[in-house]
Amino acid sequence: MDESMVIPAFAGLPGAARLDRSFDVDRLVADLARLRHETWSRQRSYGTDGITTVAEVDWRILPLRSIDGSIERTDPGGPGLGDFQDSSWLDDAPYLAEILAGLPAQLRAVRLMALGPGAKSWVHFDNKYGLAWGTVRMHIPIVTYPEAKLFIEGELHQWQPGSFWFGDFTRMHQVENTGTETRVHLVIDALPSRELLELFPAEFRTPEVLEQILIGRPTQTLDQADAARLPVRFQVPESFTDWEEADGEFLTPQKQLAAAVELRDGSPVLLLDGEPAFALVHLGEQEFRLAGWTEERTVQLPSAEGAQQVRLRTRRGSAVRELAVPVEAA
């Protein structure tokens, strides 16, 4: 299945939209100058099995927010035992930190991305990193030149320093720099919120479009009564553990894995075949998303004593697919 196909509600929308904020270019450049001489590593992608490919072109990253705050993680992250935290580099970028703190959304990865002279990416799409699956990707250009180009579905985009842009990178896109200077953007991934969507043009906020956007819920504290009911044991379809699976694949007959949710160091963790696989983030009512990911897939545990089912869910916009599996005896 080609996940890059535009969802009907989005088909009439542009592949990018300018958002209703702008930023001080001199302050952006001053923060960048403090970080220019640090180690910028090549862009890496992230797949189900971890980091899978390293960019062959001069496309370098300085992570300001990453899984566990690692300064080594240049990828956009994904589900696992870690979650997003600020990196130490952000301490040297006070204006960028101020911008991030002012965004009304839960942040995921935040990276300074530098496209070097002569660099040209392949034409590609970013699987499930879009509004329908609970991620919004935004750009703030800091340094750019006419020779630095972004194409989304073949349309040329050259965003100017200090402007604020949304790009739908689940569509086919490509970047290239035919000049002699490096282009640098601040690239922000976040969970869409209704407050953040107020910065979008009105055409992105019609009832039809909003129905297709997966809005992120705030995290909730797991209360003591719910924690006391752990561990919970059940079987999970193998493909449910693969966030890149085709929509609905986990509902088909397939191999089952032994799963359990239990507390490790006071926090809920999903174990597969006895090994910790994913930290869990509580959304309320005993429903959890995978740490490092969105509500694209969640696990809901029984919310009362004696309840006998765990509900596995995937979402695309407001559409929900669900599989109820029985709780197994401890």
pLDDT, tens digit (0-9, with 9 covering 90-100), for 180-211? 999 999 999 999 999 999 999 999 999 999 99
pLDDT on residue 4: 47
3-state secondary structure of 240: helix
pLDDT on residue 5: 59
The residues, ordered by sequence, that sit 6+ positions from 80 with a Cβ below 8 Å of its Cβ are 67, 277, 278, 279, 290, 291, 292
117 in Cβ contact with 179 (< 8 Å): yes
3-state secondary structure of 298: strand
165 in Cβ contact with 110 (< 8 Å): no
Q: How many CB atoms are located within 10 Å of the residue 176 CB?
A: 17
Please list the ranges in the chain whose pLDDT falls under 50: 1-4
Token pair for 139? 């750009």
The residues, ordered by sequence, that sit 6+ positions from 5 with a Cβ below 8 Å of its Cβ are none
DSSP code for 305 = T
